[in-house]
């Protein structure tokens, strides 16, 4: 896992690629329907970089049903716990300093 300041396409795809190099290619990956992960809601629908990486590596990309937070409830709760645990109200100059 890696810390990202924003959910940006290149950063997310770089992080996913790094994880695959470190831990191996997963059979499946579950994501929400964010624009970083899918272009199926675009008009016309398009293949985004994350989808292409999955396709090229034989990863079955599973999308959660729209507006179904219970599907990803455990990770969402984990994110909340992390935010609460590390919310020191300290402002860091940059991501490197925070790490």
Average pLDDT over residues 67-85: 80
- Report pLDDT for 19: 94
Average pLDDT over residues 43-63: 94
Domain count, the chain: 1
pTM: 0.73
**Does residue 11 register a pLDDT over 80?**
yes
DSSP state of 38: -
Residue 2 within a domain:
no
What is the residue range of 44's domain? 9-98
Looking at the chain, list the stretches that DSSP marks H as alpha helix, in order from N- to C-terminal side: 9-23, 49-57, 73-86, 95-98
Average pLDDT over residues 80-91: 76
10 Å Cβ neighbour count for 47?
Answer: 13
**Does residue 4 register a pLDDT over 90?**
no
| Banded model confidence at residue 41, pLDDT cuts 50, 70, 90 | confident
Residue 3 within a domain:
no
Residue 38 within a domain:
yes
Q: What is the distance, to the nearest Å, from the Cα of residue 69 to the centroid of all Cα atoms in its chain?
A: 15
Q: What is the CATH number of the domain that holds 80?
A: 3.30.420.10
């Amino acid at each position: 896992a890696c810390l990202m300041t924003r959910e940006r396409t290149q950063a997310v795809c770089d992080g996913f690629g790094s994880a695959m190099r470190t831990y191996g290619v997963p059979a499946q990956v579950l994501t929400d329907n964010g624009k970083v992960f899918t272009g199926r809601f675009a008009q016309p629908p398009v293949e985004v970089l994350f989808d292409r990486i999955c396709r090229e590596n034989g990863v079955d990309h599973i999308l959660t049903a729209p507006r179904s937070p219970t599907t990803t409830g455990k990770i969402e709760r984990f994110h909340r716990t992390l935010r609460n645990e590390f919310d020191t109200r300290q402002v860091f100059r940059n991501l490197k300093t925070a790490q």
